[in-house]
Amino acid sequence: MKSILVTGYSGQLGFAFAELLKRSNWDGIIATPSRSELDWSNLESIQNYFAKNTFDIIFHAAAYTNVELAEEQEDQATFINATSLISLAQCIDASKTWLIYFSTDYVFDGSRKEPYNEHDTPAPLNAYGRSKLAGEGVVQRLFPQHSIFRVSWLYGNRGKNFFLTMLSLGATKDHLNVVNDQLGSPTFVDDLAQDIYQALLLHFNGQCNVHGLMHYSPEGIGSWYDFAQQIFNLAQIPINLSPVSSDAFPQKAKRPSYSKLDNTLFQSKTGIVPASWMKQLEHCWDKKKDAQ
Ligand SMILES: NC(=O)c1ccc[n+]([C@@H]2O[C@H](COP(=O)([O-])OP(=O)(O)OC[C@H]3O[C@@H](n4cnc5c(N)ncnc54)[C@H](OP(=O)(O)O)[C@@H]3O)[C@@H](O)[C@H]2O)c1
C-alpha cells in the first residue's frame, strides 16, 4: 500500500492523474489538498502540511504555469517551481519519498532543429523555463528518489488551454490567425497521466526503473496552426484559418521556435509508446463529446 500526494488537483494534469488513480482503485491514500491546505508559495503552509502528513510518493503537478506573467513575477515563479522544494526536502524524509516533478520543453531555446534529448543543454528563453530548470536542479540535488518528466503543450477538457480556447473562439469567429512558426508536440493530459501511471506500475513490479530525467512526448510534431486545424476538423467547425508568424502576436515571454522532445529514453525504459499527438487529440475530443 503506497500513500500518494497529488498536488495541483485543481489544474489539468493533477486532476487527470488523481482521477485516474481513483478509477484504478489505487491501494493507498490519495491526498489532493487545495491551495488553502498546501500553498507552495508559503513556507509556513508547507511546514504545517508536512508536519501532519507523510507520503511514499509525491506527484507534483502544482506549479506556477503562467508563462507571460512569469516575466513580471520571476521571483514568485522561482519560489513556487523551485525554492519551495528546498523547504519540502527539509520538512520530510527526502530519502524515503519518491518525488515526481514535471518540467517543460521551455527549458530549451529552440535553436536545434531535431528532437531534444535528455543530454541536450538547456538554455531557457523565458522566466518560466528558468524557474522550471531551477526546480529540476533542486529535485536532482535533494531527492535521491526522483523522476523528472519534461512535457510540452499540455491541454485537456478543463482549465485554460489552447484546445478549449480554440473551441470557444470557433463558436464565435469565422476567421482566425494562428502561429505556425513554433513547432512542438501537443500533449493530452489524460494520455500523459495514463502513460505515467503505467510506467509507475512497471517500476513497482520491478520491470523498469523510471527514476531520473526523462522526456515524455507524443509521436509527431506540429505547429499551433496544425494543432488548431486538427481541432476544427474534429469539431467540424468550418472556420477560415490563416498561418501567421509569432510576430503577429507580440508577447513578453519568448518561446522556442522548435521544442520537440525526443521520447526515446522513456520508450526504451518502459516499453510504452505514447500515442501520436493527433491520436491524443482524438482521445480528448471523444472524451469531450462523451461528457456532453
Ligand atoms: N500547461 C503546459 O502546457 C505545460 C507544459 C510543460 C510543462 N508543464 C508542467 O506540467 C505540470 C502540470 O501543468 P498543468 O498544465 O496541469 O498546470 P495548471 O493546469 O496550470 O495547474 C497548476 C496547478 O498548480 C496549482 N498551484 C499554482 N500555484 C500554487 C501554489 N502557490 N500553491 C498550491 N498550488 C498551486 C494550481 O492551483 P490553483 O487552481 O489554486 O491556482 C493548479 O492546481 C506543471 O509542473 C507545469 O509546469 C505544463
pLDDT-based confidence at residue 267 (cuts at 50, 70, 90): very high
Q: Is the CB of 80 under 6 A from ligand 1?
A: yes
Q: Does any domain span residue 10?
A: yes
Q: Is the CB of 63 under 6 A from ligand 1?
A: yes
Q: Does any domain span residue 211?
A: yes
CATH of the domain at 35: 3.40.50.720
Can you give the pLDDT at residue 1? 85
Q: Does any domain span residue 234?
A: no
* Coil, strand or helix at 209: coil
Can you give the pLDDT at residue 292? 81
Q: Does any domain span residue 247?
A: no
What mean pLDDT do residues 250-262 have?
A: 96
pLDDT-based confidence at residue 25 (cuts at 50, 70, 90): confident
Q: Which domain holds residue 44?
A: 4-161+186-219+260-275
pLDDT at 14 over 90: yes
Catalytic residue from among 9, 128, 225, 258: 128
Can you give the pLDDT at residue 147? 98
Q: What is the pLDDT of residues 96-142, one digit of tens each?
A: 999 999 999 999 999 998 999 999 999 999 999 999 999 999 999 99
Q: Does any domain span residue 77?
A: yes
Q: Does any domain span residue 84?
A: yes
Q: How many domains does the chain have?
A: 1
Q: What is the pLDDT of residues 131-164, one digit of tens each?
A: 999 999 999 999 999 999 999 999 999 999 999 9
Q: What is the pLDDT of residues 67-80, one digit of tens each?
A: 999 999 999 999 99
Do 238 and 162 meet the contact criterion of CB atoms below 8 Å apart?
Answer: no
Q: Is the CB of 158 under 6 A from ligand 1?
A: no
Q: Is the CB of 35 under 6 A from ligand 1?
A: yes
Q: Which of 241, 231, 239, 215 is nearest to 284 (CA)?
A: 231
20 Cβ neighbours under 8 A, 6+ residues apart? 190, 193, 194, 197
Q: Does any domain span residue 118?
A: yes
Q: Does any domain span residue 25?
A: yes
Q: E strands within the chain?
A: 4-7, 30-31, 57-60, 98-104, 146-151, 154-155, 175-179, 183-184, 187-188, 212-215, 222-223, 240-244
| Residue whose CB lies within 8 A of the most ligand 1 atoms, among 46, 58, 154, for a mutation test | 154
